[in-house]
Amino acid sequence: MGRIFERFEALRRNDEKALVTYIAAGDPSLEATAALIRTLEAAGADLIELGLAFSDPLADGPTIQAASQRALAAGANTDNVLAMVAQVRRAGATVPLLIMTYYNLLMRPGVAEFCRRAAEAGFDGLIIPDVPMEEAGELLAATTAAGLDLVQFVAPTSTPDRVRRASQLATGFVYCVSLTGVTGERTALPPRFRELVQETKRHTETPVCVGFGISQPEQVREVCQIADGVIVGSAIVRLCGEGGTVEELTGRVGAYVSNLKAATK
C-alpha cells in the first residue's frame, strides 16, 4: 500500500482525522509552491493536493480560478510542476501528494504517460473532477498500472446507487462534496453532508473526506465528528494571493494550517 493508505492508517491509530490541503501549483511561483509544500507538511497537513492550472476549471470557484490564472501567467505547466515535485521529494518530503486537475491535461501527453510521469515524480494519487466514473475505464487502468490512487466524488445530488458505486470504486479516499456548486469559503455547512457521509461509509472501508466550503477550525471539528478527514482549499489559496515575500507567505499559511490541524485531533 502507498503513502495515502499508510497516512490514514497512522491517523486511525492516533485517533486523529486527516487534514487535506489544496494549493495551486505555481501560484505565485514554482519556488513558492515548493516552499509551501514543506510548510504545509511541517504545519501538520496530512495530504496535499496540488492543482495543475487549467483554463476552464469547472469545479473551481473564483478564488481558485484566479490562482490558476496567476499560475499560468507565471509559466506553470505539467512539465515544470512534475520537476518541482521530484525535487521536493529528493529533498525529503514524505507527505502524500495528489494532482487535482482536468482531463484535457491528461489527454495531451496520453493518459498512461501522464500517470507514469506523475508517479515517477513522486505523486500518490489523482483527483479529476470532470471524468465521471462511467467513462473512467482508461484512467482507472492507467492509475492502477502506475500505482496511483484515483479519488472518486460523491455529492448531495448523487443517487444512492451512484454513491454506492463511487464509494466502491475509489482508492485513496472518497471526496464527499458538502454542497452543490463550486469551491469557495462558506460561513456554515449544510446539514445534508452528514447524511451523505453516513451513506458513503455504508459501502466502503476507504476513508471519506469532506470538502467545499470549509475554512474555519469550528467547521473542521464539525466535519471530523463524522468523516475521516476534511479538505481545505480556497482559504489557503486566498492567503497565497495576498502577496509578500515567500517567507511572509509561508508564515501566514503555516500558522493558519496549524490551527486547522489542531481541530482534527
61 within some domain: yes
224 within some domain: no
Identify the three-state secondary structure at position 116. helix
249 within some domain: yes
Residue 76 has pLDDT above 60, yes or no: yes
Residue 154 has pLDDT above 50, yes or no: yes
Q: What are 16-33's pLDDT values in tens digits?
A: 999 999 999 999 999 999
Give ∠ CA 184-200-106 in degrees, rounded to 5: 60
pTM as predicted = 0.94
The residue that leads in pLDDT, 200 or 64, is 200
140 within some domain: yes
Residue 250 region by backbone torsions, left for phi larger than 0, else alpha for psi between -120 and 50, else beta = alpha
Please give the average per-residue pLDDT across 84-100, as a whole number: 98
Edge-to-edge strands of the sheet including 229-232? 149-150, 125-127, 97-100, 47-51, 18-24, 229-232, 208-211, 174-177, 152-154
Among all residues, which ones are annotated catalytic?
Answer: 49, 60
Residue 73 domain boundaries: 3-150+230-262
Q: What is the pLDDT of residue 212?
A: 87
CATH of the domain at 56: 3.20.20.70
Q: What is the dihedral of CA 248, 251, 257, 258, to 10 degrees?
A: -170
Give the C-alpha separation, 52 to 64, whole Å: 11
Residue 184 has pLDDT above 70, yes or no: no
* Structural domain count, the chain: 1
- What's the length of the chain? 265
78 within some domain: yes
